[in-house]
Amino acid sequence: MRNLIISLCIVGLFLEISGLIWSSKKEKPSDTFLKLSEPPARSIENPLENGYFLLLGFASSPSSHPVQVGYDVWLESDTRPSQRGFDLDKPGRTELRIPVALDQLLPEWNSPDPTTEFQRRDALFRTSVTRYSTLLSRYEQWLRMRFEDWGYAHRGVPRVEEILGTHRLYIAEGFGQQSRIGLERLAAELARWRVILRDARTLSMKILAQVILEDDVQLLSRILSRTTVDRAILSRGLNLLQPLTPSEYSLRWPVQSQFVLGYVRNLESDRELLPQDNTDGASKESLARAANLHPEMFRAVEHPRLQNVLGFSSSTQRTWDTYATFYDATIKAADSVHSPLPTLYDVARHSQLTLLERIVNPLEFSPNWEPFSQRLVETDARLRLVSLQILMRKPTATVTLPTRLAEVGSMYFDPFTGLPMLWSPTQKKLYSVGKDGLDDGGDPTFDISVPLAITMDSSPSKGTHAFRR
């Protein structure tokens, strides 16, 4: 009798849970869910006119049509975008792969005086320019093309090594000809990648744009650290280094893309479900290294297929409405620099989920977008610091450097604190406190710093009596 009662209880519980899942699946989606399910509009009708696909086919064989190759790669993934990455290892797709590290490809890039090194006739990078002339031609073609991120709701990540290497060769070759040409190329490239940072619909493109922007900004910082700098760079520098705008900070589309990917994967039946391939693993790791992020951070926002304790798919409508509310709150918080990102627990406890639903569907996956939000603040801090390298070059006889940093205006304040940037007179560095929010004296391990070359129009005795806050 006891076993019979237990069996009946189990059957009853099973039927209750089954009814709960079935009734929830038939519920009308929330407005927030519908909003996040709406894909971005496309403005480019012909994919062969989209520079996004040139980036996917960037390293294809010299005889190929790189845009067509990239589009073919995307089409393969488009059949099962939640399970397949971009397969770039097929023959002909990476024949122009750069086999050496960036520092070996262009050692002059990180030198203390890069413009002088670029203009040397025996500069080592000139050999790379000749060897990778096809990639340079493609990069120049890409800069002239329209661009729209069609990676939305796809797992794939483009190869980054060739893109990063070619962008450096493109800038170095320009400065190698004339400073004016180098500056024009730098200005065009910065403008291009800032548009992509603003309009990126996937996390991979957002991070790639960020990496190249920071690479260019750090190059400018090394140029500005010299006592003598081309006046054209000083006069145009501030326009090139404007702080990030709210739209450039926005994580709306990357977050929404991951939400849709997770939802689509949960819609697939067990019969349709295939193991996720790892075709994008190497590209994702390369991008993470370039961005100084741990590869696990990308996995921390990839929504897995949800399962409850009894093996049923937990993709009930109320579950996904709760996730939609969480993702929407994340998008709104990320748009404001100083707003902490919400936790799934805080959102879930105010949801319409019943106690039984919380037991059956425990919402164990909580995406962590904080590292990506913080990286954008770091990029903004670098832009502001390098602007200050220009603004603070000439000392005054009566105003100390910390006072000038306080008076320069909030657009150049530290985005991590909302307070003026800091100055270390012993290290001759301007710095931001970085993501830990602590003043570590300009230590590059924790703070974000740039050197300051002060051009002395007056005697040293009339300089600033600066101090470190």
pLDDT exceeds cutoff 80 at 347: no
175, 301: one domain = no
| Collapsed DSSP state (helix, strand, coil) of residue 466 | coil
Kindly state whether residue 372 falls inside one of the protein's structural domains.
no
| pLDDT score at 306 | 66
Looking up tokens 């849709």 gives: 260
Kindly state whether residue 45 falls inside one of the protein's structural domains.
no
Kindly state whether residue 111 falls inside one of the protein's structural domains.
yes
| pLDDT score at 350 | 61
99, 230: one domain = yes
Kindly state whether residue 155 falls inside one of the protein's structural domains.
yes
339, 190: one domain = no
Q: What is the mean pLDDT of residues 287-314?
A: 77
- Chosen domain end from 249, 273, 307: 249
Q: State which residues form the domain around 458.
A: 392-462
Bridge-partner residues for 313, per DSSP? 307
The DSSP secondary-structure symbol of 110 reads G
d(CA 350, CA 361): 15
28, 56: one domain = no
d(CA 176, CA 123): 9
Local confidence band at 15 (pLDDT 50, 70, 90 cut-offs): very low
The DSSP secondary-structure symbol of 460 reads G
User: Structural domain tally of the chain?
Assistant: 3
279, 354: one domain = yes
79, 172: one domain = yes
29, 155: one domain = no
Local confidence band at 146 (pLDDT 50, 70, 90 cut-offs): very high
Kindly state whether residue 383 falls inside one of the protein's structural domains.
no
pLDDT exceeds cutoff 80 at 311: no
423, 396: one domain = yes
17, 150: one domain = no
> Which tokens sit at 157?
């990540």
Whether the model pTM is above 0.75: yes
Kindly state whether residue 368 falls inside one of the protein's structural domains.
no
Report the 10 Å Cβ neighbour count for 180.
Answer: 13
Of residues 337 and 245, the one with the higher pLDDT is: 245
